[in-house]
């Protein structure tokens, strides 16, 4: 069965901290994505990756970076956390071939104090 695992369901960090969110998929998918979800704003794409060591900016990359050293793992990094980065973060993966569904992890609810 399809499985996307996010390392934490809930996380509380302080302003200025460097924060790592980890995501692992077991489906051998080429594409991986990071979104944030906020009330009234829907799902917004932060970064995505279509291959190891490859990354592309999404719609709201400012304040974030990503790392993809292995095919199954995609990390989101908040370089210096700020309170406006408090949100629900969702990781997803999909096969490289087009028109196939994304599969999501359970999400990480991140609070920055």
Partner 1 sequence: GQQLNQSPQSMFIQEGEDVSMNCTSSSIFNTWLWYKQDPGEGPVLLIALYKAGELTSNGRLTAQFGITRKDSFLNISASIPSDVGIYFCAGPFMPSGTYKYIFGTGTRLKVLA
16: nearest Cα among 62, 76, 66, 83 = 83
For tokens 């970064």, what's the residue? 47
CB of 30 to partner 1, least distance (A): 9
CB of 18 to partner 1, least distance (A): 24
91: nearest Cα among 73, 111, 64, 70 = 73
Name the site residues for partner 1 (rule: CB under 8 A).
4, 6, 31, 33, 42-43, 45, 48, 50, 56, 58, 90, 92, 94, 98-107, 109
Of the pair 73, 103, the CB lying nearest partner 1 is at 103
């Amino acid at each position: 069965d399809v499985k996307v695992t996010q390392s934490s369901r809930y996380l509380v960090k302080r302003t200025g901290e460097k924060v790592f969110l980890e995501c692992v998929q077991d489906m051998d998918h080429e594409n991986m994505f990071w979104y944030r979800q906020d009330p009234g704003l829907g799902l917004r794409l932060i970064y995505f990756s279509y291959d190891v060591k490859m990354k592309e900016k999404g719609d709201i990359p400012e304040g974030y970076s990503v790392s993809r050293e292995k095919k199954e793992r995609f990390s989101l990094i908040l370089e210096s956390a700020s309170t406006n980065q408090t949100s629900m973060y969702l990781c997803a993966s999909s096969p490289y071939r087009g028109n196939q569904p994304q599969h999501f992890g359970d999400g990480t609810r991140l609070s920055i104090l």
